[in-house]
Structure 1
């Protein structure tokens, strides 16, 4: 059973989220909070597996709440859920240790998948948010850094590099397959091989790794 704490300053949204995620029999909402400080206290009391938390809240917002939780409870996963898809909030949330960042227009089934995936140790990010993070990381680099050769010493084929660039652009496996004229199954296999080569868990980590190491 995945224990979840929901944190949002709007009661109706907390109750709605509770109803949605508990449609899955493997998820149980064990606590509800209205700001980041309450989230921290609930983590100490209830030891949840995942905290699903809004960003814009009074007293202590989700970005600061993530920082507080991760400073004391590294094993607890935090998913930021928000209507805001801006560079500053996304960048701060990820830097503070957020394990996922999804927008509130996410479909109920996809939200459940996000909770279960993060609980298993995968990073989850809404595709538009992923694009924003990639751009922000690239923007934060010094101009000299952008011109440097990649920092890693792992051989990647031209096809693998092409697929990585398309992932950073937010393309789905189907869109990648159409772009480079191979089957969707082949795309999945190539991505799996890339993740194994780079010792990464998922597409989100791959995209951020690619930008940080000047692959794109």
Structure 2
């Protein structure tokens, strides 16, 4: 059973998400919170598997809450629910360790699939938001592109590209006919070579440089 927490200052959205999640046979909402500060208090007493996190909230926003939660509870996944006008916040939240982001008007089945994907270690990237973010980022540095390609082997680059597309280790292993352990070893090498903390930072780097 996937334990889900929901953090959003809009009661209507919270209640709708609770109903949708609790209808699933493999998920259960363990708690909800109005803002990041309340989420920090609740996660300390009841740690969920994944948190659906709003960005703009009173008391403490989603960026601050994500950073603090991931620092103390690194195994807890955070999936951001956002709107188009929050690109800077999204980028900062992903850097803080969120597993991805989706729009609040995403179809229910996509949100539920996103939760399951994040739990399995995938990066959940909403295509429309990703495209908009990339357009708003600074100009692509060709030197950075070349540096990434030079540091990675062809196989490592292939896996890094797949991670930026949101695939989990299991999905990559099936596509490349490799064991999950081999994929994990390649990922570890990629992160070390590029001096990155996790797969989400890798996905951001690849997207930012349009790799």
Aligned to 1:17: 17
Q: Structure 1 stretches of 5 or more lacking a match?
A: 171-187
SS at match of 1:199: helix
Cα offsets for 1:106-143 (capped at 9, x unmatched) = 10111111111111221111112222444566x27767
Aligned to 2:129: 129
Report the Cα distance in structure 2 between the residues aligned to 1:140 and 1:60, rounded to whole angstroms.
Answer: 32
In the superposition, the TM-score normalised over structure 1's length comes to 0.71
SS at match of 1:91: helix
In the superposition, the TM-score normalised over structure 2's length comes to 0.73
Taking only aligned residues, the RMSD between alpha carbons, in angstroms, comes to 3.5
Q: Are residues 1:192 and 2:191 paired?
A: no
SS at match of 2:5: strand
Report the Cα distance in structure 2 between the residues aligned to 1:141 and 1:70, rounded to whole angstroms.
Answer: 29
Report the Cα distance in structure 1 between the residues aligned to 2:175 and 2:136, rounded to whole angstroms.
Answer: 26
Cα offsets for 1:137-164 (capped at 9, x unmatched) = 6x277675356562433126xxx7xxx6
**Is contact 2:70-2:76 (8 Å) kept?**
yes
The structure having more radius of gyration, on CA atoms, is 1
**Is contact 2:35-2:57 (8 Å) kept?**
yes
Cα offsets for 1:35-68 (capped at 9, x unmatched) = 0111111111111000101101011011111011
SS at match of 1:150: helix
